[in-house]
Structure 1
């Protein structure tokens, strides 16, 4: 796909720019109900630079998780454009809409991390190997990857006795902390976080908030959804308010 000249110019002129979304829209077609279209996201635009954490807020149904999934490429946007800095690509960025699957996978491996509310449990794979896997896929020695995974699991208060076990039988909070460790271990330059603290108690929410702030201070560009106001206040540099389709979004700077 040939890069849009205006987007390429933006990435060339703004070295800190990591993500640009312009007028992103998403409509779901209900084929089992006569092809009815449900508009889930309408006209959202956002630039995110290194060291920023933009928190999405708005009522249920405003499209917060849908927007994150569009940014990650799990959902194909129905309209608009999404571009993420990729120094290996033409124009220093990759436009997600229309990109080849292998390019999207490369971007996920090297640039973009995503943490959802739920861990996709991998049968018979130990917790420590699940967390270490993103490093191993990038060529990090397995012993080093496991050591880094162990350090992160310990910081997230996942008991050491659980590390050799597959997490299928873990509690919801334990699974979520494993998911967070897996999502943060590779220190991706762009992080997409979909309610990563939803199942956590106050102590563990504070640990996760600290990890997110550290990622931001390292220069990661972060977009996330956090329903806990305290966590949101600790991590956010800006808030993007989404409203139901047919209404506009607004951005609020954080002090």
Structure 2
């Protein structure tokens, strides 16, 4: 799927535009149940500019997390287009709905950060190295990357005694703070945040909210889901309401479900 000409021009004509989603739809096929289709996302459109934080709201099952995963390329949209600014390319954007996997991975390394609800890391790797890894992948010296990781972990109230340890046995809140540190350390220009404060107490939610505000003030374009109303009100510049999906529908064969994991 390629962008229409007006959307492609928008990235050249609007320097602040970082993300454009047009009529994004997602349907999951239940192959074990006769190919029934579950519509998870129906026709969502969104532009996000530098310095904005758009918070997704809507009833449970409205597709908020699904939309974030489509924006990140974990899910391949069933319809519509998604493009993210990439000034390294001649056209100044990458249409991830039609991109090769290696291009999506490069965009994630350099432009787009994603924080999910759950920490997924390589076993037996220390917390400090997990958080430092996005900087190291960009070519930052390992000692410098670890120093920045230490500063961020300290700010997020992760005890120093835990930094040399793998986080598999940490509490849910500790793991989530490690996940947040890893997602924010590289200061990506686009941030996708899926309930990053869900397992945190009020004190640590406030710390995370402040970090998000600082990222926004640096010029990051942010799309997030926050079930905590206080956090949502603190970080949001505007809100996008998603409607509940329709009942299961019949599908044409051949629709894909996943893109780059």
User: Does the aligned pair in 2 maintain the 1:20–1:82 contact within 8 Å?
Assistant: yes
Whether contact under 8 Å (1:193, 1:223) holds in the other structure is yes
Q: CA deviation at 1:89?
A: 1.7
Alignment deviations for residues 203-253 of structure 1 (CA, whole Å, 9 cap, x no partner):
000000000000000000000000000000000000001111359999999
1:112, 1:189 within 8 Å by CA — same for their partners in 2?
yes
> 1:2 Cα shift?
6.2
Corresponding residue for residue 73 of structure 2? 73
8 Å CA contact retained: 2:121, 2:130: no
Mean alpha-carbon deviation: is it higher for 117-126 or for 225-234?
117-126
Q: In 2, distance between residues paired with 1:252 and 1:69?
A: 10
Q: Return the offset for 1:4.
A: 3.8
**Matched residue SS, 1:191:** strand
**Does the Cα contact within 8 Å between 1:29 and 1:37 map onto a contact in 2?**
yes
Matched-pair contact (CA < 8 Å) for 2:2–2:98: no
Q: Is the 8 A contact 1:237 1:253 kept in 2?
A: no
Report if aligned partners of 1:84, 1:93 keep a CA contact under 8 Å in 2: yes
> Which structure 2 residue ranges, 5 or more long, are not aligned?
247-252
Partner deviation per Cα, 1:87-125 (whole Å, 9 max, x = no partner): 112310000111011100000000000000000032110
State how many pairs are aligned.
255
| Matched-pair contact (CA < 8 Å) for 1:18–1:49 | yes
* Deviation larger for 83-92 or 192-201: 83-92
Is the Cα–Cα contact under 8 Å of residues 50 and 220 in structure 1 kept in the other structure? Answer: yes
Tell me the equivalent position of 1:252: 258
Contact 1:153–1:181 (8 Å) recurs in 2: yes
Report the Cα offset of residue 254 of structure 1: 34
Instruction: With the length of structure 2 as denominator, give the TM-score of the two structures.
Output: 0.93
* Post-superposition offset of 1:154: 0.1
Quick one: structure 1 residues 170 and 104, their matched pair in 2 at CA, closer, same or farther if it must change by over 3 Å?
same
Greater length-normalized contact order (CA 8 Å, ≥ 6 residues apart)? 2
**Counterpart Cα distance in 2 of 1:245 and 1:194:** 19
Q: 1:126-145 CA distances to partner (integer Å, 9 max, x unpaired)? A: 00000000000000000000
CA separation of 1:71/1:94 partners in 2, compared to 1, >3 Å: closer, same or farther?
A: same
Cα distance change on mapping 1:233 and 1:21 into 2, 3 Å: same
Contact 1:117 1:198 in 2 (8 A): yes
Q: Which runs of 5+ in 1 are unaligned?
A: none
After TM superposition, give the deviation of residue 7 of structure 1 in Å: 1.9
Matched-pair contact (CA < 8 Å) for 1:240–1:252: no
TM-score (norm 1): 0.95
- CA-based RMSD of the aligned residues comes to 5.5
Asked whether the 8 Å contact 2:40–2:63 carries over to 1, the reply is yes
